[in-house]
């Protein structure tokens, strides 16, 4: 359902023995459950011609990560990376044979080089890691919210039957976010600026970069607080959560007004499912929502809603050792699962960010047991024992969170923007701001006027290319790892794009700043799983950081808003 990257903690798809037997058992249980609720099973094909999936909105394929191949007739085919798209294509092909509203369900493999559902990052690896197994259901042709409620009831019954523990549902609304886009884009006049603004907005929304969102709102002269908290869509979202909470009191319900979807066919309430593993850590295990615009892509406008869930094996929440202990225990002994929760890991970069990081965590009562500057240890425990600090290189901090090794990191936005990832950046600190500048010899400044092809050296090739193209430039980039200034000094490059703090290194080497391209910020980076479980802690941290002027634009209201009025640490804004 949701476009994102697959968690690195996922286990391989079972192919033999007990693992495969469990998967078949879950599949049969889901078939019995959904069939008993009046849903009809679909047997979807593994591949379809790629031409079937052309988006009427963007002109691009709606399967950007689907593996493709050509047959002997040179026809391009796509393996299914999303069961929902294949079911929509089936319904539109057979609409004259179906009676609406039509309730359907399915299960099977999906193939995607980046996975499908919500998590912490994934580098391309062996092809076997591209497979996962999913279950899903949909109701086609019903506009009323009762369709979402029926689907959610079915999904939670299936999740509980599969053995998921610590279930929680996070609600959002695609209409709310589309309204944000329309409100902002309406303030921009030229097509080029509108495209750049929309891209920046989508990136900020997807990463929950609140300070960046606030900057965009200010530039467009929009009152962000009134927009977020006083809108009818937001109040409706809270009402939906309350209604669902009354139906499922044993499930933790959350509201996230920034819950996003990368695909453009979602048109209403959206939701994500999370569950705990044997250590109590949250994993994204499914999601869904209303997507009335989906069937229009296939030529048949119709209301539609649905969900998908991943089986516990490939979701990374099934623990074989627990099953083994249960099987070995005497029949007269009731086995009780004990969760051994490891400390929350924080990737803390060495150098100047380390000093600032130690200070800001101390402000919220999280103090490191040893001084990082006077020890050669690389792993330090907090005094409370609940946090574990990993001392890492600045460029590696993001990788530790992206790979699921750590839950939190402190990093500069230059490192975060250089490589695409799905990590969240909900907090921006007030310290450590720098500039990324285009610089070089004074006599080379005119080389960037006109059509002359220029060569630019930089540590940030991806970020530099985006920034320079936004300025209408298309240079040849030379990636370097150190002493970037040297490339311009010896005329290896016409200019450099680099981080500038005081400018003293440039001046001492006879270089000047041609133009400031952007500013960098120090941000708190989180995995999506830890973000889902830490709303209350995050709001508590923001409260203290804002009091000490350590953060920029602390939006308390966007974290666990349903409990804001009962929080003694929260202030009225």
| pLDDT tens track for 203-225 | 888 888 888 888 888 877 777 77
pLDDT > 50? residue 336: no
Cα–Cα separations (whole angstroms), residue 442 to 15, 473, 474, 513? 64, 19, 20, 9
pLDDT of residue 387: 94
pLDDT-based confidence at 335, cuts 50/70/90?
Answer: very low
How many Å apart are CA 154 and CA 135, to the nearest integer? Answer: 11
pLDDT > 60? residue 356: yes
pLDDT of residue 368: 93
Q: What is the pLDDT of residues 404-421, one digit of tens each?
A: 889 999 999 988 888 777
How long, in residues, is the chain? 573
Q: Which long-range contacts (CB under 8 A, 24 or more apart) does 419-422 make?
A: 419/462, 420/462, 421/5, 421/121, 422/4, 422/5, 422/118, 422/119, 422/120, 422/121, 422/206, 422/207, 422/528
Centre a 10 Å sphere on the Cβ of residue 258 and count the other Cβ atoms it contains.
21
Q: Left, alpha or beta for 332 (phi > 0: left; psi -120 to 50: alpha)?
A: alpha
**Residue 371 — φ and ψ, nearest 5°?**
-75, 115
pLDDT-based confidence at 259, cuts 50/70/90?
Answer: confident
pLDDT > 50? residue 34: yes
**Nearest to 408, CA basis, from 476, 488, 340, 348:** 348
pLDDT > 60? residue 117: no
Sign of the alpha-carbon dihedral angle for 65, 71, 76, 77: negative
191-207 and 210-219 helices cross at what angle (nearest 10)?
150
How many Å apart are CA 543 and CA 551, to the nearest integer? Answer: 10
pLDDT > 70? residue 129: no
How many Å apart are CA 315 and CA 281, to the nearest integer? Answer: 12
* CATH number given to 344-433+522-566: 3.40.190.10
Interior/surface letters 39-65, b for 16+ CB within 10 angstroms, e for the rest: beebebeebbebebbeeeeeeebbbeb
Is 52 within 8 Å of 61 (Cβ atoms)? Answer: no
Q: Residue 406, SS3?
A: coil
pLDDT > 60? residue 13: yes
**Secondary-structure breakdown of the chain: helix, strand, coil percentages, each rounded to the nearest 5:** 40, 25, 40
pLDDT > 80? residue 501: yes
The mean-pLDDT minimum among 124-128, 161-165, 186-190, 518-522 falls in 124-128
188 class by beta-carbon count within 10 Å (0-12 exposed, 13-18 middle, 19+ buried) = middle
How many Å apart are CA 254 and CA 559, to the nearest integer? Answer: 9
What is this structure's pTM? 0.83
Query: Two tokens at 386?
Result: 């609940």
pLDDT of residue 124: 32
Cα–Cα separations (whole angstroms), residue 222 to 116, 186, 195, 425? 34, 11, 19, 22
pLDDT of residue 310: 87
pLDDT > 50? residue 58: no
pLDDT > 90? residue 341: no
**Nearest to 112, CA basis, from 74, 70, 88, 80:** 80
How many Å apart are CA 130 and CA 110, to the nearest integer? Answer: 8
pLDDT of residue 338: 46
Is 180 within 8 Å of 188 (Cβ atoms)? Answer: no
Omega cis (within 30) before 32: no
- DSSP code string of 284-311: EEEEEEE-TTTGGGGT----EEEEEEE-
The whole-number average pLDDT for the span 197-203 is 81
pLDDT > 50? residue 564: no
pLDDT of residue 300: 84
Among the ranges 78-82, 215-219, 497-501, which has the highest mean pLDDT value? 497-501
The whole-number average pLDDT for the span 531-557 is 84
Q: What is the pLDDT of residues 139-197, one digit of tens each?
A: 999 999 999 999 999 999 999 999 888 899 999 988 887 887 777 777 776 777 777 77
Cα–Cα separations (whole angstroms), residue 122 to 260, 298, 402, 419, 420? 19, 31, 7, 12, 11
pLDDT > 70? residue 121: no
Residue bearing the bigger pLDDT, 315 or 300: 300
* CATH number given to 434-520: 3.40.190.10
Residue bearing the bigger pLDDT, 472 or 143: 143
Topology alike, domains 17-174+266-325 and 434-520: no
pLDDT of residue 41: 96
Among the ranges 183-197, 272-286, 508-522, 528-542, which has the highest mean pLDDT value? 508-522
**Residue 518 — φ and ψ, nearest 5°?**
-165, 170
The whole-number average pLDDT for the span 540-558 is 83
pLDDT of residue 123: 34
pLDDT-based confidence at 89, cuts 50/70/90?
Answer: confident
* CATH number given to 17-174+266-325: 3.30.930.10
**Residue 3 — φ and ψ, nearest 5°?**
-80, 125
Beta bridge partners of 289: 270, 306
**Nearest to 168, CA basis, from 160, 177, 176:** 160
Q: Residue 265, SS3?
A: coil
pLDDT of residue 525: 93
pLDDT of residue 100: 92
Residue ranges covered by each domain of the chain: 17-174+266-325, 344-433+522-566, 434-520
pLDDT > 70? residue 109: yes
Strands (E), 229-297: 252-255, 269-276, 282-290
How many Å apart are CA 369 and CA 55, to the nearest integer? Answer: 55
The whole-number average pLDDT for the span 364-393 is 91
pLDDT of residue 570: 44
Q: What is the pLDDT of residues 39-53, one digit of tens each?
A: 999 999 998 888 776
Is 505 within 8 Å of 407 (Cβ atoms)? Answer: no
Across the chain, what does the average pLDDT equal? Answer: 81
Beta bridge partners of 387: 344
pLDDT of residue 85: 86
How many Å apart are CA 232 and CA 175, to the nearest integer? Answer: 11
pLDDT of residue 562: 55
Residue with tokens 């225990």, as numbered in its chain: 329
pLDDT > 80? residue 125: no
């Amino acid at each position: 359902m949701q476009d994102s990257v697959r968690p690195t903690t996922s286990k391989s798809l079972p192919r033999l023995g007990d693992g495969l037997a469990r998967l078949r058992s879950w599949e049969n249980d889901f078939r019995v459950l959904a069939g008993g609720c009046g849903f009809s099973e679909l047997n979807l094909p593994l591949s379809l011609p790629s031409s079937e999936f052309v988006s009427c909105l963007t002109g691009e394929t709606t399967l950007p990560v689907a593996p493709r191949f050509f047959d002997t007739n040179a026809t391009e085919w796509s393996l299914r990376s999303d069961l929902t798209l294949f079911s929509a294509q089936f319904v539109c092909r057979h609409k004259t044979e179906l009676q609406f509203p039509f309730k359907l369900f399915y299960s099977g493999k999906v193939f995607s080089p980046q996975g499908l559902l919500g998590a912490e990052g994934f580098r391309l690896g062996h092809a076997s890691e591209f497979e996962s197994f999913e279950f899903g259901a949909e109701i086609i042709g019903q506009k009323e919210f009762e369709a979402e409620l029926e689907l959610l009831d079915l999904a939670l019954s299936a999740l509980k039957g599969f053995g998921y523990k610590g279930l929680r549902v996070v609600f959002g609304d695609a209409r709310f976010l589309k309204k944000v886009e329309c409100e902002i884009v309406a303030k921009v006049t030229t097509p080029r600026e509108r495209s750049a603004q929309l891209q920046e907005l989508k990136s900020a929304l997807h990463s929950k970069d609140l300070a960046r969102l606030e900057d965009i709102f200010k530039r467009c002269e929009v009152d962000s607080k009134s927009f977020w908290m006083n809108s009818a869509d937001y109040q409706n979202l809270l009402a939906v959560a309350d209604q669902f909470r009354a139906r499922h009191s044993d499930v933790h319900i959350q509201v996230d007004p920034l819950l996003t979807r990368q695909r453009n066919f979602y048109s209403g309430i959206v939701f994500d499912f999370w569950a705990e593993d044997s250590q109590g850590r949250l994993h994204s295990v499914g999601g869904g929502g209303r997507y009335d615009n989906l069937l229009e892509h296939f030529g048949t406008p119709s209301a539609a809603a649905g969900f998908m869930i991943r089986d516990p094996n490939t979701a990374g929440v099934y623990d074989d050792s627990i099953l083994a202990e249960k099987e070995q225990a005497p029949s007269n002994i009731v086995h009780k699962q004990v969760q051994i929760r490891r400390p929350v890991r924080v990737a803390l970069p060495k150098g100047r960010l380390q000093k600032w990081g130690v200070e800001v965590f101390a402000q919220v009562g999280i103090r490191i047991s040893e001084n990082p500057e006077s020890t050669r240890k690389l792993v330090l425990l907090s005094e409370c024992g609940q946090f574990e600090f990993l001392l890492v290189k600045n460029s590696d901090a993001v990788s530790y969170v992206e790979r699921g090794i750590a839950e939190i990191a402190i990093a500069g936005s230059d490192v975060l923007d250089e490589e695409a990832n799905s990590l969240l950046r909900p907090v921006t600190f007030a310290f450590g701001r720098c500039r990324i500048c285009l610089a070089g010899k004074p006599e080379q400044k005119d080389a960037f006027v006109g059509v002359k092809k220029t060569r630019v050296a930089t540590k940030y090739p991806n970020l530099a290319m985006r920034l320079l193209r936004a300025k209408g430039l298309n240079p040849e980039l030379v990636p370097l790892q150190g002493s970037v200034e040297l490339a311009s000094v010896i005329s290896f490059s016409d200019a450099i794009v680099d981080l500038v703090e005081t400018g003293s290194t440039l001046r001492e080497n006879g270089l000047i700043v041609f133009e400031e391209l952007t500013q960098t910020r120090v941000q708190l980076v989180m995995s999506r799983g830890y973000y889902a479980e830490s709303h209350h802690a995050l709001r508590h941290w923001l409260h203290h950081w804002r009091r000490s002027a350590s953060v920029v634009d602390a939006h308390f209201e966007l974290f666990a808003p349903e409990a804001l009025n009962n929080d003694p640490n929260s202030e009225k804004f």
